[in-house]
Chains A and B, each alone.
Chain A
Amino acid sequence: MEKLYGYRRPDGKVGIRNHLLIIPASVCASHVAQNIANAVNGAVAIPNQQGCCELGPDFDVTHRVLVGFGKNPNVGAVLVVGLGCEGISTRQVAEEIAESGKRVEYLIIQENEGTINTEAKGIKLAREMASQLSLMQKEEIDISDIMLAVECGGSDTTSGLAANPAAGYVSDRVVELGGTVVLSETTEFIGAEHLLAERAVSQEVADDIIRIVRDVENKAKSIGVDLREGQPTPGNIQGGLTTIEEKSLGCIFKAGTSPIQGVKEYAEIIDGKGLYIMDTPGQDIESITGMLAGGATVVIFTTGRGTPTGSPIAPVIKVIGNSENYKKMKDNIDINAGTIVEGKETVADVGERIFKEMLEVINGKFTKAEALNHREFGIYKLSSTF
C-alpha cells in the first residue's frame, strides 16, 4: 500500500487536511464569521442557524457540534466568533477546543464596536493564524489513524445493489487495517436493525441499536404521521425503492460486515477503533455534520441519483451506483459503481477502486465537492427554538 501523510495533532489525533476554522457561536455571528473566512486563504466558516434560544437537548447538540468541529483533527487552528449575548458561550467553546492543544482564539462582536471592527480584527488574526498553519509539515501516518464516515443520499435501487456494497468493501478494509468507520442515519436502519444488532460486540450495544431505532420510529408515530410521507423520499420511489425497509437493507451495506463496537450519540466524540454507529437523522448534511463532530476525517458518500454536497472540513468522496445518472451528474461524482449493475465489474473491483481513490484523497487529492467549494453544514434539531 502507498505511504500516507497527514497532520499529527497535539492530542495524538491525525488529520488529513489543515483548515483554519472560523466558528460562529450563533446565527447572530454567522455573517461576520463568514466574511472573515472569505478574506483569508485556508480559512473556512460554519455559518448556521443555531446557538441561541435553544432548550436542553438542542442546546447540548449545538455546543457539542461546535466544539467537535473545532477539535476535529482536519482543523489546525480555530477562531471562534460570538455576538456576546447568545446561549452558547463563545469563551467556553474556545476553551473546550483548546483542550486538544491546538491554537484557539476568540472575538466578541459586542466588545469590538460591531461588524466592521470585529471583521477587521478577525481578518488580521486569521491571516496570521493561516500563515502559521501553512508552515505545518505533513508526516507519515497509518491507515489505522483514519476515521471514515459512510453516508448515503439521493438513493435509488442501485444504491443497495452497487454503491453501498462497494463502499462496504472499503469499510471492511479500513476496519481490518485497524482504522475506525462510522455508520449513521438511524431512520435508515428501520427494517434492518435486527441485522445490525446481531453484529453488536455485546448485548448492551445490541440493545442500544434496537433502542435508537425504536425511538425514531416512535417519534414518527407520536406525531401521528406516516413515516412514508418522508421516507422513502419521492426521488427514492421514482428510483424504484418501495419501502423504508428496502431502503434500509440497502443502506447498511455501506458499513460492511464488521462487528459493531458501540452506539454514539449525535456529535459524540469517538475514540475507539473498528465500526461504530452514530444516532443521527437520515438527512445527509446533519448526519455528516454529526459524524465529523465525532472526529471523522474522510467521508464516502454513496448515491444512486447523484448529489452535490460536501463539507467544510473533510473531503467527501461521491460514489454512484447508476451509470445513467453518473453521466447526468458527472460534475459531482468521483466514482461510478454502476458497472456492478451492468455486470462489467464486481463489488470487490469497484471497492478496490474506491479504496485507492480514498488513499489519494487522504494524501491531498481534491474530491469534486472540495474542488467546487461545497461546504454544506447543518446541525440536527429535536425541537423548535423558544
Chain B
Amino acid sequence: MLKLAVVTHERDNVATAVRDLKKGQVVLMDIQGKGQVEVSLKEDIPFGHKFAIQEIKENQELIKYGEVIGHATLDIAVGAYVHVHNVVSERGRGDLEVGK
C-alpha cells in the first residue's frame, strides 16, 4: 500500500504527509506499537507538511517525534493543517522579553 503520511512516535498528535494530500481524503497511518489511526482531512496538506491526528486545544502542546515542538495558538481539529498559522515555538523568544 502506498504510504500517505507518517506518525513518528506513539505520543504524537500530528502526522506528516509524504504525498500531496487533498481535503476530504481519508488517510490510514501506522502508529508504532499502537496499531493504526484513520483521519479524514479537513484541508489540503502539501508534501512534508503536518496535520492533526487528535483534537488539539488552544495552548496545548504539539507533539512530534514524541517531543514538544511548540504549542497551539488556536483550537485545531482532527484532520486540520498544522503549521506556522496555528503553532508557535516556545524557544528563543527575545520578542517576548522586551518590556518585561
A234-245 interface mask toward B, CB cutoff 8 Å, 1 = contact, 0 = none? 000101101111
B48 engages A227 (CB within 8 Å)? no
A225 to chain B, nearest CB (A): 5
Q: Tell me, in angstroms, the Cα distance from A274 to B86 when the chains sit together.
A: 41
Contact A242 B70 (CB under 8 A): yes
B49 contact set on A, CB distance < 8 A: 157, 240
- Contact flags (1/0) for B35-75 with A, using CB distance below 8 Å? 00000000000111110000000000010110111100000
Kindly count the residue-residue contacts between A and B in the assembled complex, taking CB atoms under 8 Å apart: 106
Give Cα A304–Cα B94 distance, bound, in whole angstroms: 28
Task: Out of B3, B87, B94, name the residue touching A223 (CB < 8 Å).
Answer: B94
B47, B82, B84, B90: the one contacting A324 at CB < 8 Å is: B47
Interface centre among B67, B87, B89 (most CB of A within 10 A): B89
**What is the bound-complex CA distance between A239 and B46, given in angstroms?**
9
Return A223 CB to nearest CB of chain B, in Å. 6
CB B23 to nearest CB in A, in angstroms, measures 17
Q: B67-100: which residues lie under 8 A (CB-CB) from chain A?
A: 67-70, 82-84, 87-98
> Which interface residue of B8, B16, B68, B69 has the most chain A CB atoms within 10 A?
B69
B6 within 8 A of A: yes
A243-259: CB near B (< 8 Å → 1, else 0) gives 11110011000000000
Which residue of chain B lies nearest to A194 when distances are taken between CB atoms in the complex?
B67
Give every chain A residue within 8 A of B87 (Cβ-Cβ).
242-243
Give the residue of A244, A246, A304, A343 whose beta carbon is less than 8 angstroms from that of B92: A244
For residue A383, CB closer than 8 A to chain B, the reply is no
B18 at the interface (CB under 8 A from A): yes
A158 contacts chain B at the CB level, 8 A cutoff: yes
If A224-B98, A242-B70 touch, does A161 touch B91 (CB 8 Å cutoff)? no
Q: What distance in Å separates the Cβ of A156 from its nearest Cβ neighbour in chain B?
A: 5
CB distance B69 to A240 under 8 Å? no
Q: Contacts A191-B69, A227-B92 given; indicate if A240 touches B18 (C-beta within 8 A).
A: no
Does A190 reach chain B (CB closer than 8 Å)? yes
Q: Say yes or no: B92 contacts A226, CB within 8 Å.
A: yes
Q: Are A245's CB and B91's CB within 8 A? A: yes
Query: Closest residue of chain A to B90, judged by CB?
Result: A245
Q: Which residues of A are found within 8 Å of B18, using beta-carbon distances?
A: 161, 341-343
Is B95 a contact of A246 with CB atoms below 8 Å?
Answer: no
Within 8 A of B (CB), among A184-237: 190-192, 195, 217, 220-228, 231, 237
Contact A243 to B89, CB < 8 A, known contacts A157-B48, A161-B8, A191-B69: yes
Bound form: Cα–Cα A5–B87 in Å: 50
Q: Which of A195, A225, A245 contacts B89 (CB 8 A)?
A: A245
Asked if B93 and A227 make an inter-chain contact with CB atoms under 8 angstroms apart, the answer reads yes
Q: A156 to B46, alpha carbons, bound, how many Å?
A: 12
Residues of B within 8 A of A226 (CB): 92-96
A190, B91: Cβ atoms closer than 8 Å: yes
Do A227 and B50 touch across chains, with their CB atoms under 8 A apart? no
The residues of B that contact A237 with a CB separation of less than 8 Å are 83-84
Assess the B69–A161 pair: CB atoms within 8 A.
Answer: no
- Are B67 and A195 neighbours in the complex by a CB distance under 8 Å? yes
CB of A307 closer than 8 Å to a CB of B: no
A160 interface residue, CB < 8 Å from B?
yes
CB atoms of B67 and A249 under 8 A apart? yes
CB <8 Å contact, A217 and B67: no
* Distance A231 CA – B91 CA, assembled complex (angstroms): 10
Query: Are B91 and A242 touching (Cβ within 8 A)?
Result: no
The residue on B at minimum CB distance from A158 is B48
- When chains A and B are docked, how far (Å) is the Cα of A227 from the Cα of B16? 24
Query: Which A residues between 147 and 161 are near B, CB-CB below 8 angstroms?
Result: 156-158, 160-161
A228-B67 in contact given A220-B94, A240-B46, A341-B18 (Cβ < 8 Å): no
| Residues on B facing A (Cβ under 8 Å) | 2-3, 6, 8, 16-18, 46-50, 62, 64-65, 67-70, 82-84, 87-98
Known: A158-B48, A226-B95, A242-B84. 20 other contacts (CB 8 A): A157-B16, A157-B48, A160-B8, A161-B6, A161-B8, A191-B67, A224-B95, A224-B97, A227-B91, A240-B17, A240-B47, A242-B50, A242-B82, A243-B87, A244-B89, A244-B91, A249-B64, A249-B65, A304-B48, A343-B3
A-B pairs, 10 with minimum CB distance: A227-B92, A240-B48, A226-B95, A243-B89, A221-B94, A246-B69, A157-B48, A240-B49, A243-B70, A343-B3
| Interface residue ranges, A against B (CB under 8 Å) | 156-158, 160-161, 190-192, 195, 217, 220-228, 231, 237, 239-240, 242-246, 249-250, 304, 322, 324, 341-343
